[in-house]
Structure 1
Amino acid sequence: MTYFVRVFCLVALIATLSACSGVKVSEPYLPNDRWDQREKRQSVLGGEGLTFGDSKAERQDQGGTGIGVNGYLWRATLDTISFMPLASADPFGGVVLTDWHTPSTSPNERFKLNVYILGQALRADGIRVAAFRQVRNNVNEWQAIDMDPKAVTDIENAILTRARQLRTESMTQ
């Protein structure tokens, strides 16, 4: 066999063995008098077996049950844009997408927001907003209009202000 074929077979064997590490095998039936005499079985490859990536202890330190972004920014985003209909909200990826919202004061204009929470820290650069505006033209079609950058910054600042309020409230309780 060539060197390439040997390496390929070795990689395939390792991948197959690592795939079997998650298989749960039930304990064999042992009568009560022999139950206490059984030995705890261990893996040939060590305590956790063959793993790729993080160890089990490192995965437990990460939590895994909470949201993947800053909780105050997440809650503040939902509070701040609650007047708009939500199209999608992903707490693990930190993405909130709204559907088009038409204000009652201007029926020929509509807005849409995409909010991205970029990390777990409560910082000014931890949030990014993309805002879209459309205006109805003479032939009753929606036409995209550029948003004022100051309006986008104001939305980001409103979310950050609300996040700071939520953090302050949680610290006083």
Structure 2
Amino acid sequence: MIIKYKNSVKIVLTVLVALILFPMSGCSKRSEVGEPRNNILAAEEVYTIGVNAYLWRATLNTLSFMPMLSADNAGGTIITDWKINPANANERTKVDVYIVGKQLRADALNINVHREMLRDGNWVSIEPRPDAVIQINTAILLEARLLRRDNAPLTT
């Protein structure tokens, strides 16, 4: 009888512990990918300029080598002026970036690359390099994630 009582107590205690700990399992301070939740939320909370501030700053940083024609943080548009290719003076490029989402995601960016070639004294529009948009998009997102990481609140 005493052995059955001890086993019953063990079972009841195990069930009680499971019932207490199971609901708390979703209270982790880390996301599914292991990054602190505050770091992830920090990126989505920065809208005081009208768009995601990390994407905005990262776009300006990434395109800083090009002359800026206009930058509207309320509308999320950054338009560069033409930049002549240092390796080929007969080629120039221009980039338009539209930040269309508030989350730090690839689909929050709409990027257009324009390229022209000098022929017979006139600038003629040609196709941009096939991977230009992808490379710019990747560079902006990488910079934005680094900014988010560096500006995230300290977690313990």
Identical-residue share of aligned pairs (%): 46
| Root mean square deviation of aligned Cα | 1.4
Question: SS in structure 2 opposite 1:147?
Answer: coil
Q: What is the aligned partner in structure 2 of residue 144 from structure 1?
A: 125
Higher strand share: 2
* 1:38-68 deviation per Cα after TM superposition (whole angstroms, max 9, x unaligned): xxxxxxxxxxxxxxxxxxxxxxxxxxx9211
Any residues of structure 2 matched to 1:1-173 within 5 Å, and which?
66-137=48-119, 139-171=120-152
Cα gap change, 1:103 to 1:172, in 2 (>3 Å): farther
* Runs of 4 or more consecutive aligned structure 1 residues displaced over 4 Å after TM superposition: none
> Where does structure 2 lack aligned partners over 5 or more consecutive residues?
1-46
TM superposition shift of 1:149: 3.5
The CA deviation at 1:103 is 2.2
Q: Which amino acid aligns with 1:81?
A: L
For 2:124, the aligned partner's letter is Q
**TM-score w.r.t. length of structure 1:** 0.60
Work out which structure has the larger RCO, using CA pairs closer than 8 Å and 6 or more positions apart in sequence: 2
> How far apart are residue 151 of structure 1 and its match?
1.3
Deviating more after overlay: 140-149 vs 78-87: 140-149
Q: Quick one: which amino acid aligns to residue 88 of structure 1?
A: S
Matches of 2:140 and 2:81, distance apart in 1: 18
Distance in 2, matches of 1:172 and 1:81, equals 27
Structure 1 runs not aligned, ≥5 long? 1-64
- Structure 1 residues 13-50: Cα deviation after superposition (integer angstroms, max 9, x where no partner): xxxxxxxxxxxxxxxxxxxxxxxxxxxxxxxxxxxxxx
